[in-house]
Amino acid sequence: MKKPLLFKYVFPFVQWYALMVFLTLVIDYFLHRYQLVYVGRYLGPLGTVVILLSFIYSLKKRKLIESSSPKKLLLLHEYLSWIGSIMILVHAGIHFNALLPWLGIIMLLVVVASGLVGKYLLKKSNESLKDRKLALVSTGLSAEEADKKLFFDSITVDLMKSWRVVHLPMTFLFGVLSLMHIITIIMFSK
Ligand code: HEM
């Protein structure tokens, strides 16, 4: 029996987003309870490095690296950026000191939400590309070659194109606000 669309596409999105918020609150609670709040300071830079590492996918996409498959590296992007986001959310905590970093956090929340939507849109467009894979294989291409070809095709189908209009500019804004936050910290710490 086919799963209803709501369960197939919406539920996984809500589940991953809610888990991110839940883990943030749990970690924040324990850091406060055991007087380890200072750990949160280090989670900012660490989360940033983890998110930056997730962009190995972009290097692969632009053929700047040879190793690994785009599919695996996209999964790495999704998981590392999700984990890095939790670190940054704990770092931000529930304190409100300055406006700019908080605008950055809102951007982060939007980027992760749009990333999760993209993940399931991509799944949907991949499903509609299955027939094309069969056609490619029947022309003599190996299954692996067909997968590689179709992976980037699935990202350029219309649905994904319009989705990138949210995910990418929001990432840019998030990056700018994070950079301003880092510069302010360096300037004002003695
Ligand atoms: C801090 C969080 C995140 C940032 C800053 C971010 C940023 C980006 C950027 C810049 C790209 C474009 C890659 C390129 O064209 O070179 C991208 C692609 C993508 N991201 Fe994220 N992302 C984040 C989180 C997520 C999450 C949590 C998911 C899903 C679970 C996700 C799913 C995707 C997908 C499916 C693509 C592929 C689409 C494509 O290649 O155009 N992202 N992301």
Give one DSSP letter per residue of 21-79, joined into a string.
HHHHHHHHHHHHHTT-TTHHHHHHHHHHHHHHHTTHHHHHHTTS--SS-HHHHHHHHHH
Alpha-carbon span 23 to 93, nearest angstrom: 12
Tokens describing residue 143:
């299954």
3 inside domain: no
Kindly state the DSSP code that residue 4 receives in the 8-state scheme: P
22 inside domain: yes
Alpha-carbon span 158 to 129, nearest angstrom: 13
Residues having CB closer than 6 A to ligand 1 are 51, 58, 61, 74, 77-78, 81-82, 85, 108, 111-112, 115-116, 118-119, 122, 155, 164, 167-168, 171, 174
Ligand 1 atom with minimal separation from the 62 CA: 16
Q: Which domain holds residue 76?
A: 8-188
Alpha-carbon span 154 to 134, nearest angstrom: 15
**6 band by pLDDT with thresholds 50, 70 and 90:** low
Q: With 70 as the cut, is the pLDDT of residue 9 above it?
A: no
142 inside domain: yes
Lowest mean pLDDT across 64-68, 69-73, 93-97? 93-97
141 inside domain: yes
Which residue puts its alpha carbon closest to atom 1 of ligand 1? 81
pLDDT of 96: 62
pLDDT tens digit sequence for 73-114: 999 999 999 999 999 999 998 666 678 888 999 999 999 999
2 inside domain: no
Ligand 1 atom with minimal separation from the 16 CA: 30
Q: How many domains does the chain have?
A: 1
Average pLDDT over the chain reads 87
1 inside domain: no
72 inside domain: yes
Ligand 1 centroid vs 116 CA: distance in angstroms? 9
Percent above pLDDT 70 for the chain? 91
Q: With 80 as the cut, is the pLDDT of residue 2 above it?
A: no
Which residue puts its alpha carbon closest to atom 21 of ligand 1? 115
pLDDT tens digit sequence for 172-189: 999 999 999 999 989 987
Ligand 1 centroid vs 47 CA: distance in angstroms? 15
**146 band by pLDDT with thresholds 50, 70 and 90:** confident
122 inside domain: yes
- The whole-model pTM stands at 0.87
Kindly state the DSSP code that residue 140 receives in the 8-state scheme: T
